[in-house]
Structure 1
Amino acid sequence: MEAPDKLLGIGISIPGIISREQHMVIKSHALQIENYSLSFLEQSFSCPVYFENDANAAMMAEDIHQYQNAIYLSLNNTLGGAFCIDGKLFTGQNQKAGEFGHMILVPGGRKCYCGKKGCADAYCASSTLTAGEYESLELFMEALASGKSEAKKKWEEYLDNLAVLISNLRMAYDMDIILGGEVGGYLSDYMLPLGEKVLKYNGFDRDTRYLKNCTYRKEASAVGAAKYFFNRIE
């Protein structure tokens, strides 16, 4: 039962390109929908409803006052991204800014779910770690912690690919990079080896202090979508 006197609104994060003005999912490869109206969801509630791309919402969950200029890498089952400039989320001309998962990382490489080959998503999403014998990222990380050789080999390859992506983003934007999503939640224990790999590809930075761990290890996009309403009343 809704309590209108206490409920500011409902925030919904969606893996796709969102038009907030038209209240529509313009395109979502993950959900396999295009030009999908969200009006029916608004009509289901008697309070304001806010729709946001999941990576943008995860960026909003972070302290924007702390990260005036920053990139957010959402390392989930699919790879998303977002960034803020002067403390404000930047979405680009067509709400496609931050689609780092579909930057080509390896030309002609693995096939991505979007249909292209060699996308960063095919190498740096958490699904690359769980493919095969591991049913979840948690089980993979347990295998890695226990020293299983197959898990260690896969993790080293993953960090190598992630280091290339991070280096490219740092060169392009010269901002702090927040490592979020499912994998980001575990990376706090592996910042040293990741930093060493990044420095091999980046000769302009002497250290990797610009790499930051995410605040919310799980459900960051849900937190960010909810924070939208708190930010409106500040």
Structure 2
Amino acid sequence: MTPKKISTAQLRKQNRNQVFRAVYDAENPMTKQEIAQKLHLSLPTVTQNLKELFDECLLAYAGTDASTGGRKARLIALDENAYFSVGIELSPKHIRYIAINLKAKELAYERVEHAFTNTSEYRIFYAEKLEEFLNKFHLSRERLLGVGITLPGIVSEQKEIVEIAPVLHIRRMKLSLFTENIPYPTFVQNDASAGGVAEWWNYDGPSAMAYLFVGKGVGGALMMDGKSFEGQNRHSGEFGHMCIVPNGRPCNCGRRGCLEAYCSTSCITDDLGLSPEEFFTALARNDPKVTAIWEEYSDYLVTAIHNIHMVMDCDIVLGGSLTPYFQSQLPYLRKKLRERSFFPDEEDFLFLGKCEGKANCVGVALHFIAGFLESI
């Protein structure tokens, strides 16, 4: 089959994106000559594209290269803060705000204690807090790419609704209600799917990854070659509502025996009247009651992780607000997985997320960063 020819305009856009990504992906600033050599493009082509990118304030000079006897070549780097995006995470008891730059580095973060209610007053509240957040951290609205909103529910972009969010007690709610008070480009996404995007951004393993999010709700995402695998009905990764105990504990979704009913953070915090820090401090002291609860909790968690791995045969990243506390328990969890595994000699496949409790709002903010990078 004869390769499809691309137009001059398409070629120019392709070259422009290649030049930009060469600088964006580089660990260190580059010279114009290094960019041309890396991309196998002519120096005039690189020069013209660099000029356009400088004119748009996307690049900046970062000193000069070491002299080789002639005029020192100027080093070129990304202006990471040229644009930014914001992620908002809605949860039962609090709201998180984060601003990230073009390299997904945190510019500002704030957590607001405010219980979720399905009311216009609540939606006005978090929109007003967004404006306060931008003002507080001196974030220019002219450089704001967009605002992502993430929540613990199944989001249908096609139907433009949140189909169900058990922990928020909402069903079939229009997406427009979540965004109507925000005067910027917006995007709404399931929290665990957003968390998977954030963890994939920081992941340097093989081409597939399963993300298991443990919070007040339990969910997840499947990432393949940099993209979320959402399934035929966009329901993939709903690990929290797979049954692990038939006719077991009641779940917020109305069914019984779901993973969420056994591994929600509430099971080891709210239900016991403890904070995560208090629970894991007591666990480190070998408190008998806490130790027994942890053994049961970790059994269910390991069962879920094992089942996901048996189906997907890929690395599993465990994330959520408990990630810092799971660090000391990772060897224990891996040991239990090896004992349960049908393939006990395989290498460790369980890893902890790097974004901890901020993964969801980072991930939904990345929607606009990724879109911007593709548009260059």
Q: Report the TM-score when normalising by structure 2.
A: 0.59
CA distance in 1, matches of 2:314, 2:212: 12
3-state SS, counterpart of residue 206 of structure 1? coil
- 136-145 or 68-77, which deviates more: 136-145
The Cα RMSD (Å) is 1.8
- CA shift digits 1:194-219 (9 cap, x unpaired): 11111122122414521111011112
- 81-90 or 60-69, which deviates more: 60-69
- 35-44 or 51-60, which deviates more: 35-44
- CA shift digits 1:152-193 (9 cap, x unpaired): 111111111111111111101101100101233321211111
3-state SS, counterpart of residue 62 of structure 1? helix
Deviation at 1:54, TM superposition (A): 0.2
Deviation at 1:130, TM superposition (A): 1.9
- CA shift digits 1:12-54 (9 cap, x unpaired): 0011010124432111111111111121343322221011000
Q: Which has the higher helix share?
A: 2
Deviation at 1:119, TM superposition (A): 1.1
Q: Structure 2 vs 1, CA of residues 124 and 42 (structure 1 numbering), >3 Å: closer, same or farther? A: closer
CA distance in 1, matches of 2:347, 2:254: 33
CA distance in 2, matches of 1:208, 1:109: 32
> What pairs with 1:19-38 in structure 2 (closer than 5 Å)?
19-38=156-175
CA distance in 1, matches of 2:257, 2:178: 36
Do 2:200 and 2:223's aligned partners in 1 also have CA atoms closer than 8 Å? no
Matching residue's letter, 1:51 = V
Deviation at 1:124, TM superposition (A): 1.6
* 1:204 and 2:364 aligned: no
> Partner of 1:140 in structure 2?
279
- CA shift digits 1:117-140 (9 cap, x unpaired): 211111122111125433322221
Aligned length: 234
3-state SS, counterpart of residue 82 of structure 1? strand
> Partner of 1:53 in structure 2?
190
Do 2:323 and 2:357's aligned partners in 1 also have CA atoms closer than 8 Å? no
> What pairs with 1:57-136 in structure 2 (closer than 5 Å)?
57-64=194-201, 66-67=204-205, 68-136=207-275
Do 1:199 and 1:206's aligned partners in 2 also have CA atoms closer than 8 Å? yes
Matching residue's letter, 1:101 = G
Q: Which has the higher contact order (CA 8 A, sep 6+)?
A: 1
CA distance in 2, matches of 1:196, 1:17: 33
3-state SS, counterpart of residue 8 of structure 1? strand
* 1:43 and 2:180 aligned: yes
Question: Which structure has the larger Rg over C-alpha atoms?
Answer: 2
CA distance in 1, matches of 2:219, 2:171: 18
Q: Report the TM-score when normalising by structure 1.
A: 0.92
CA distance in 2, matches of 1:160, 1:40: 40
CA distance in 1, matches of 2:231, 2:324: 27
Identity within the alignment, %: 36
- 95-104 or 139-148, which deviates more: 139-148
Deviation at 1:74, TM superposition (A): 0.5
CA distance in 2, matches of 1:35, 1:116: 18
